[in-house]
Structure 1
């Protein structure tokens, strides 16, 4: 029966027959990239492609940079990987020191992961554990913004505001609330200044917190500059300062998602620098590794680290490849 079924299925050619890879689309096989050089990718037939978007907004250093390649070879010659549950590495410690030196005020530790979605998941779980450590176990709700994107794993998808990505997985998602984004072009009224508009939409956060009960809200998640799902939406003056005030007033953690907009893409290393505030947790990825290895990180404030260090003593989370030396 098994052989017959297999034979019958095999006789029907699939649209992407010729590959055993489950590619992103089943209707075609993408060209095979065999070489990269600067801003170009070359396929198996020698055709060149201008990588204008840097893949998924990742390859900001270009392809095949000789300094990056040399550094990777040097690390592999020493040690490619050691489990972070048992070992640290010079590479991990040095990168953490580098990120700490440039981090927004209040950041104390760096938690490494393998990408943006993992960073969001870690930040959400860290926020939840923080409130358990300080004796506020009822804080479980997360607020985010409509037409936002924070990753594709279930927790990250739950707080994201892209309805098309969420729709078929809704039964699996955790409960999250969504307020208006800062979309000045569409939503600012004719009788409003940019500052007045920013206060109006920021105050939606306070309304949402009060509706859920301030004692029940754990975190607000926002991209300082919105990326893929809305198209490079920058905040209006004063918006994030008001958001920070609201979070402080009600004891809600502010999680800043700089996976796409961080690491120098807005003129400063961290986009939030230009807003004059800091987050309690901040996620970074994409430009951090520029596509040469999968890597992301969560920048962790001192108050969160201290709560865990003085409480249970460990963050109850982890991935096999976190802190990967070569990455």
Structure 2
């Protein structure tokens, strides 16, 4: 087919004819052409119930008029400005909205383009924080088995999905993994939920002791388990115990709410129901509802103040972070929520 020629009518894309490097290379994919509400429609006119919202993303469904209007209005004004040189009104407004409803002490939002990027940024923030305060020996993360934090290398390293990690293991940083909070499988018959949670906290403390707590940067966990183990809520007191343990040793708590956050559990942030406040909080899927690629890290003021008083910069960045149209979409989604 000549460049610039119209695409021939098709109802599906065959793996032998596509030039797209699809995630599945042996399957014929239906050609999605429209979406409205809870349904997607392919080129043959077949309608699908988008029951899982893609990858748990489309919290407002497809084609929400207020979100579309906000995106149109933003793209007519400004689609993109590089964040090394400019900020935008819409990014500032979205950050204000997110901080107004954030856990106590959160002061700043670092925008990225998705959940994996948010987790990568959080990991690097933790490392730079300890370098800035004169503790460069802190080099270890501790996370949980049967967890999922994304597919980029840092996020994959802290994640505990064995199948996803296996072939990339030689590329991953060494991370200590402890048991997940999986009451259904792992709580002993004679053990209360609270006692089970404290047993897990004790296991984490043993992991810190083995590494040397002065060498540990952060404990990383999904507040509610997501893409690997299923929906695993923490037992009462589990995260409070972890917060106290981390505080005792000056270790940061990074919570991954990419999937479970932004209203998915009945409060905007799942950690609100646990009565704990993390040092860094990653959000994404429900932030933009699938209308544009966006994620974010919410950071405690004490961390941001260290960066500001020290090097004055976060040594990290991506071309599309803080994208104006993505921020406009997310702001509209949050207003509807």
**Short-chain TM bin:** over 0.9
C-alpha distance in 1 between matches for 2:248 and 2:238: 16
Query: Is the CA contact (8 Å cut-off) linking 1:225 and 1:271 kept in structure 2?
Result: yes
Aligned: 1:187 with 2:186 = yes
C-alpha distance in 2 between matches for 1:160 and 1:28: 28
Superposed displacement of residue 78, structure 1 = 0.5
Q: Which runs of 4+ in 1 moved over 6 A?
A: none
Superposed displacement of residue 29, structure 1 = 2.6
Structure 2 gap segments, 5+ residues each: 1-13, 327-337
C-alpha distance in 2 between matches for 1:205 and 1:299: 24
Secondary structure of the structure 1 residue equivalent to 2:30: coil
Query: Is the CA contact (8 Å cut-off) linking 1:23 and 1:29 kept in structure 2?
Result: no
The number of residue pairs the alignment matches comes to 313
C-alpha distance in 1 between matches for 2:154 and 2:276: 26
Secondary structure of the structure 2 residue equivalent to 1:80: coil
C-alpha distance in 2 between matches for 1:154 and 1:187: 29
Alignment-derived partner of residue 312 in structure 2: 313
Alignment-derived partner of residue 46 in structure 2: 47
Secondary structure of the structure 2 residue equivalent to 1:27: coil
Secondary structure of the structure 2 residue equivalent to 1:254: strand
5 Å-filtered alignment, 1:231-310, equals 231-310=230-309
Secondary structure of the structure 2 residue equivalent to 1:144: strand
Structure 1 gap segments, 5+ residues each: 1-14
Secondary structure of the structure 1 residue equivalent to 2:217: strand
C-alpha distance in 1 between matches for 2:24 and 2:130: 41
C-alpha distance in 1 between matches for 2:36 and 2:202: 47
- TM-score, with length taken from structure 2: 0.92
C-alpha distance in 2 between matches for 1:35 and 1:16: 22
Aligned CA-pair RMSD: 0.7
Per-residue CA deviation, residues 78-126 of structure 1 (Å, 9 max, x unaligned), is 1011001110001100000000000001111100000000000000000
Superposed displacement of residue 292, structure 1 = 0.2
5 Å-filtered alignment, 1:1-327, equals 16-327=15-326
